[in-house]
Amino acid sequence: MFCTQAELILAKKEHICTWCAEKIPKGEQYYRWASVDDTWHTSKMHVECRDACSEETSYYGDYEYMPYNNERPRKD
């Protein structure tokens, strides 16, 4: 799997987090990156969701996860 560098973006419109399936409201910062395996996919995650995803997937050495099927961590 190939992934582009994750960018911290300020949402210009509402998005859905690919980690927790909750809304990313307009005006909130989120991470966005593209990946390709069989097809291209754009991931958009809350900052805390990307941290959780990074922690969980670092064990396996790749960024594969089950989209829209994880709990949103509490913000610190």
> 39: which residues sit within 8 A by CB, 6+ positions away?
none
pTM of the model: 0.84
pLDDT one digit per residue (tens) for the chain, 76 residues? 677 899 999 999 999 999 999 999 999 999 999 988 788 989 999 999 999 988 887 776 666 778 898 899 987 6
How crowded is residue 26: how many other Cβ atoms within 10 Å of its Cβ?
A: 11
SS3 string, 22-48, reads CEECCCCEEEEEEEECCCEEEEEEEHH
DSSP 48: H
- Residue boundaries of the structural domains of the chain: 2-58
